[in-house]
Amino acid sequence: MTQERDHASVRPQRRLMVAVVAVAVLAASGVVLWRRGAASVADASAPLRQSIPVTTAVAAHRDLPIYLAGLGTVQASNTTAIHTQIDGKLQSVNFTEGQVVHKGDVLVQIDPRLYQAAFDQAKAKKAADAAQLISAEKDLDRFKTLAAKDDATQQSVDQQQAKVDQLKATIDADQAAIESAQTQLDYTTIAAPTDGRVGIRQVDPGNIVHVVDATSIVVLTQTRPIAIVFTLPEIDLPDVRGAMARGPVVVLAYDQNNARLLGSGKLLLADNEIDQTTSTIKLKATFPNDDETLWPGEFVHARLLVDTRKDAVTVPSAAVQRGPRGPYAWVVRAEGTVEPRPIDPGPTQGVDTIVDNGLAAGDRVVVNGQYRLQSGVRVDANPATVPPRNGDAP
């Protein structure tokens, strides 16, 4: 009995000890979890205190050319389709396809024998009529002498005078026939009307060519100088005319990728009317094309220099942001924080934008990383790499 009572008294004590230990364990776990939560909160708030990495550039004064850009087509200064002006056998072709020729060079020879015979015949007829005229003029002098002695009538004199006048008219007609035959004979030799480059030959020697043939023998194009015809929106016409009033207007020609400069020329004219269907105006520029980098029929990007803004404040175009209150830029202050500053942007040319108001030369602006910024945050500014400006053209 005594042992049973001892065991009964020990059980409540064990239960109490187990409860105390459990409470201690829970308390220790709570402290650990609280410390971990505090550390997590501290870690979450740490980025707010760190500097935000951004890329910056410095606003600077520079002369910025203002270009207007349009698509254009290269056109030869002169394009001549070489046709025959007489019928005959193509005797010889005196050029190589693709050859550069000069004005007056013989390109084609047509069989001249028939036309040479006609020319000789016309000359012979004139010589015969001239001999008859000499005889008639001598007879006229005799009739006049006899009439003065009353040995011939005045009617005889008049008739002889008419014969002389008729022969003179015949000789004039003979001279016209000679000139016509000479022209036909000259047409058997076809010479280059201008300097230029010949294309692919369309007719081979030995063929009979006719005046009515639709196909030309060859096409001659003058590529030095050369022209570009391009279009601009009609809204740009006042700027173009203003530039033309100030003097010669420079036009640059770039390839289809708008990357490689092909040549520099001068604006020749603006068309005399606007295309109402497209609201565009055609312009034509001439290029020396001494190295023949421009080729007839080629599509190019034309850039017309209308103005040059002197000593303008410029920033990279990526720095200009748009917001509900208008354009602005993030400016890095001296202490390393940023602020959004309203600006008044001007024309944009390539990678640069003119800022008329809001920035001064020397201000550092953010060009990359703006999406994470808030007013007053600290930034870790890294200078931007300056991209090539491609000759200050757009």
Cα separation, 370 vs 384, whole angstroms: 14
CA 174 centroid distance within chain: 56
Q: Which amino acid is located at 161 in the chain?
A: Q
Q: What is the pLDDT along the chain (394 residues), one digit of tens a residue?
A: 444 444 444 455 555 565 555 555 455 555 444 455 444 444 444 444 578 999 999 999 999 999 999 999 999 999 999 999 999 999 999 999 999 999 999 999 999 999 999 999 999 999 999 999 999 999 899 988 888 888 778 888 899 999 999 999 999 999 999 999 999 999 999 999 999 999 999 999 999 999 999 999 999 999 999 999 999 999 999 999 999 999 999 999 999 999 999 999 999 999 999 999 999 999 999 999 999 999 999 999 999 999 999 999 999 999 999 999 999 999 999 999 999 999 999 888 878 999 999 999 999 999 999 988 999 999 998 887 765 554 444 4
- Helix-helix angle 154-186:113-148, to 10 degrees: 160
Rg (CA), the chain: 48
Q: Which amino acid is at 26?
A: L
**Contact status, residue 70 vs residue 230, Cβ threshold 8 Å:** yes
Rounded to an integer, what distance in angstroms lies between the CA atom of residue 107 and that of residue 188? 11
Give phi and psi for 63, each to the nearest 5.
-85, 120
The CA distance from 261 to 252, in Å, is 7
- The pTM of the full predicted model, rounded to 2 decimals, is 0.68
Please state, in angstroms and rounded to a whole number, the distance separating the CA atoms of residues 227 and 210. 33
